[in-house]
Amino acid sequence: MKRVTLLLLLIGLLTGLLPVLGAVSVLRQGQLILMTTRENRDAAVYDKIMYNVREMLYAEAGNLETMSSNAQYYLGQICKDGSWSDLMYTGDVATTHLDRLKTMALAYTDNKSSMYGDAALHVAIVDALAYWYIQEPDHSNWFYDQIAYPQRIGEILILLRNSKERVPAVLESKTISRMEQVGGAPDQRGSPGTGANKMNIAMHWIYRACLTGDKAVLDKGVQQAFHPLALTVGEGLQPDYSYLQHGQQVYIGGYGWDIVNVATRVALYVADTPYGQGDDNFDNLSLFLRQTYLRVIRGQYFMFNAFGRGISRPNGDNQSGFVTLLKRMKVIDKANSIIYDEAMARLNNSQPASYGVPSAHTHFYRADYTLHSKPSYTFELRTVSTRTLRNENGNGENIKGYFLADGATSIAVKGTEYHAIFPTWDWSMIPGTSTRRGTMITPQQWGTTGTTTFVGGVSDTLHGISVYDQDSNDTRAKKAWFFFEEEIVCLGAGIHTTSGTEEVVTTLNQSLLQGDVITSEKKLIRRYSGNNISLTYVDDLDWILHGDIGYVLPDGGRGGLTTKAQTGTWSSINKEGSEDSVTNDVFGLWLNHGVSPSNARYAYIVVPGIRGEAQMKSYAAKGNIEILKNETTIQAVKHKESGVYGFVFHDAATRFTNDTISIAVSDPCLVMIQSLPSGKLKLNIADPTKTLSQLTVKVLWPGLAGIKETTLRLPTTAESAGKSIVTILN
């Protein structure tokens, strides 16, 4: 029997039926057993990952006919030296060469393409790859050399490994070496080695590892690609599931998109390999998506505070393409596939912006950012403290965005309220801000810290309070927001400036004009149409309705309302933007505090999701909101229907008292109080300064027996300071 087995083995080796290299055979009790070597197993892993990469690239390439047609067009336009005459190979344009080359590689290697295996296309691909290598484009922005270029090169080479005719080995080898030389390392120092940047560099390490058969590079690439899914208090995914990049700067969109993109790509690349065992931190990615990322999109569009300097890019707010990433998440995170299906329906416009949106209120205490989302609307707020950074002006983008961190609020029902408005905005009147009208400040290139510490929020997951102690551009103010089910109460006190000749204004909104404007002026209803309205008010405006968003002015006040055509250019906010003029019809609404105000104040209530005049009248008649106090020491609001009270205590040892209640605190803080059906009292409390270890509260309240005093321990770690706590009083 052993002789027969040995003979079969010899025949197999001689005929090639058994591999000589990459396998070891042993005899055990007369049986032939093949033992695959480590090299052979590793090679199978590299091939499997490259197969998965190709399958994803084919699946996400879009319409096959369009891809093939584009490849044929690029073939017809390419020069003999492998360049395209319409490209200058400087700046961002150099990336276009690789994008065209990738399209050609897709068409050449996809057996469903009409250009599959086309000999002329292969020649052009080799020429274009050789031209790129010889040209050696270099960009002043490290991102291109370390992320944009090597990622594209890696994908192109992996596609061409599946081609009828291979790329010349010397050219492939030199191109891969270039990837290694200029592509950086995912664990390098500084911002390139953190968060989304780390993941993007790690991805082309994975490409290079598979192309060269380097297990050490693959091990490191996969480990580094998943590393940023761990929660951190540095740059990256935060304990409150916000996302910070370029220092402590909120970047839920933009770099947050990269986190989702790379993590889902790599997870599917390494599926069905030893690297595909799953990562313990993938739950963090799922929570970031469900609790944060998807909530900052209304319909198809980002809320404008969510995506950093991307606000200055044409169509930068459009998230319809995020459907592709959600399809990947459905494979990875099957337990939440219904949530992803609902989000995709909103993103592709097959369902309205309200579809599947949960009611939730979150103050992201690590980011100085607040998000209030309901099925009928979304409201977001951006502030800044000494612990966080203002919006950056990096690479000549977001040139006018300085005031975005000064209490900017975006209010969306349909999601289209601000789409592409930004080149035509008056950036000195960003919604929610209190600023000197007409005054512009250019942000520093990579962000500026805030100047105050009393900035934060408290939440019970459905309602909340946020505060911003503003001291910016010689304008000071105590700004507070009280978030309820139907409305957001916006208060300002102590508005003060000592310089400048400009009027100080608080902007309620500056959005695209969407239909008629209806007002109640001393109970007289008026309707205004068109883009040529300019109105001034002095304590005679009750409420305004525009674009399904209502605004109530409980204290009246001096203000203005306009509907007009506004013109600007993308180049005015982004140095790479078009210089062509853009015109939008814009709705503007503001309160005027005059020149050099001292201790001015404002109060307005935003009521999103109002469908028509009758509903607005009905809301105004209810009078649900009682402003208890709006001063520099205390700002307080009562919601009559829900019984929720909100208090902002700006000073230590402060007490609020009226005929029925009294509340005193030992230190500046935020307190939200609600009576429970059991007769108990629920208090949600937060320390905006993030410095307190304990807080004493004394409460006199209907239903409680006498004054109740409690001393509460507050979160103090870097991961938890500023987080809301809850206590129950009997």
CA separation for the pair 407, 479 (Å, rounded): 8
> What pLDDT does 368 receive?
99
pLDDT at 458 exceeding the cut of 70: yes
Start and end residues for every CATH 1.50.10.100 domain found in the chain: 38-181, 184-358
Contacts 24+ apart (CB under 8 A), 668-672: 668/454, 669/695, 670/456, 670/457, 670/458, 670/465, 670/467, 670/646, 671/458, 671/646, 671/647, 671/697, 672/458, 672/460, 672/463, 672/464, 672/465, 672/644, 672/645, 672/646, 672/647
CA separation for the pair 456, 141 (Å, rounded): 34
Q: List the structure tokens of 424.
A: 């035509």
Rounded to two decimals, the pTM is: 0.91
What is the mean predicted confidence (pLDDT) over 682-695?
A: 99
What is the mean predicted confidence (pLDDT) over 699-716?
A: 96
Lowest mean pLDDT among 104-113, 130-139, 250-259, 425-434: 130-139
Who contacts 272 (Cβ-Cβ below 8 Å, separation ≥6)? 48, 52
Complete DSSP assignment for 107-124 = HHH-TTSTTTT-HHHHHH
> What pLDDT does 97 receive?
96
Please give the mean pLDDT across all residues of the chain.
Answer: 93
Q: Which amino acid makes up residue 375?
A: P
pLDDT band of residue 37 (cuts 50, 70, 90) is low
Q: Write out the CATH class of domain 377-729.
A: mainly beta
> What pLDDT does 590 receive?
99
Which candidate, 457, 466, 507, places its Cα nearest to that of 488? 466
User: Are residues 550 and 607 in contact, defined by beta-carbon separation less than 8 angstroms?
Assistant: yes
> What pLDDT does 279 receive?
67
Please tell me which residue in 251, 255, 340, 537 is annotated as part of the active site: 255
- Other beta carbons within 10 angstroms of residue 649's beta carbon come to 26
What is the mean predicted confidence (pLDDT) over 338-349?
A: 99
Residue 309 is a catalytic residue: yes
Give the chain's largest Cα–Cα span. Answer: 108
- Other beta carbons within 10 angstroms of residue 327's beta carbon come to 15
CA separation for the pair 275, 225 (Å, rounded): 12
Which candidate, 481, 433, 529, 428, places its Cα nearest to that of 646? 481
What is the mean predicted confidence (pLDDT) over 21-43?
A: 51
How buried is residue 162: exposed, middle or buried, by Cβ count under 10 Å (0-12/13-18/19+)?
Answer: middle
CA separation for the pair 311, 425 (Å, rounded): 12
Residue 246 is a catalytic residue: yes
Q: List the structure tokens of 271.
A: 């599926």
Question: Angle formed by the axes of helices 149-160 and 119-135, to 10°?
Answer: 150
> What pLDDT does 43 receive?
92
Distance of CA 708 to the CA centre of its chain: 43
> What pLDDT does 384 receive?
98
DSSP secondary structure letter of residue 574: B
pLDDT at 609 exceeding the cut of 70: yes
Please report where in the chains the tokens 């035509």 appear, as a residue: 424
What is the mean predicted confidence (pLDDT) over 31-51?
A: 76
Please tell me which residue in 246, 295, 298, 361 is annotated as part of the active site: 246
pLDDT band of residue 277 (cuts 50, 70, 90) is low
User: Are residues 609 and 374 in contact, defined by beta-carbon separation less than 8 angstroms?
Assistant: yes
pLDDT tens digit string along 635-650?
Answer: 999 999 999 999 999 9
pLDDT band of residue 48 (cuts 50, 70, 90) is very high
The domain 184-358 is placed in CATH, from the list 3.30.1600.10, 3.20.20.140, 3.40.50.300, 1.50.10.100, at 1.50.10.100
Residue 476 is a catalytic residue: no
> What pLDDT does 278 receive?
67
High-pLDDT (> 90) share of the chain, %: 88
pLDDT tens digit string along 478-496?
Answer: 999 999 999 999 999 999 9
Start and end residues for every CATH 2.70.98.10 domain found in the chain: 377-729
Please tell me which residue in 54, 265, 309, 436 is annotated as part of the active site: 309
What is the mean predicted confidence (pLDDT) over 568-594?
A: 98
Which candidate, 610, 668, 315, 642, places its Cα nearest to that of 458? 668
**More confident call, 156 vs 93:** 156
What is the mean predicted confidence (pLDDT) over 225-249?
A: 96
The 3-state DSSP class for residue 382 equals: strand
pLDDT band of residue 276 (cuts 50, 70, 90) is confident
Question: Could you say which architecture CATH assigns to the domain 38-181?
Answer: Alpha/alpha barrel (1.50)
pLDDT band of residue 34 (cuts 50, 70, 90) is very low
> What pLDDT does 39 receive?
73
DSSP-based helix, strand, coil % in the chain, nearest 5:
35, 30, 40
CA separation for the pair 397, 404 (Å, rounded): 14
pLDDT tens digit string along 254-264?
Answer: 999 999 999 99
pLDDT at 444 exceeding the cut of 90: no
What is the mean predicted confidence (pLDDT) over 239-255?
A: 96
Could you write out the three-class secondary structure of 341-354? HHHHHHHCCCCCCC
How close are the terminal C-alpha atoms of the chain, in Å?
A: 87
pLDDT at 93 exceeding the cut of 80: no
pLDDT at 104 exceeding the cut of 50: yes
> What pLDDT does 27 receive?
34
Please report where in the chains the tokens 């050099």 appear, as a residue: 596
Q: What angle do CA 684, 237, 714 make, to 5 degrees?
A: 25
What is the mean predicted confidence (pLDDT) over 311-333?
A: 97
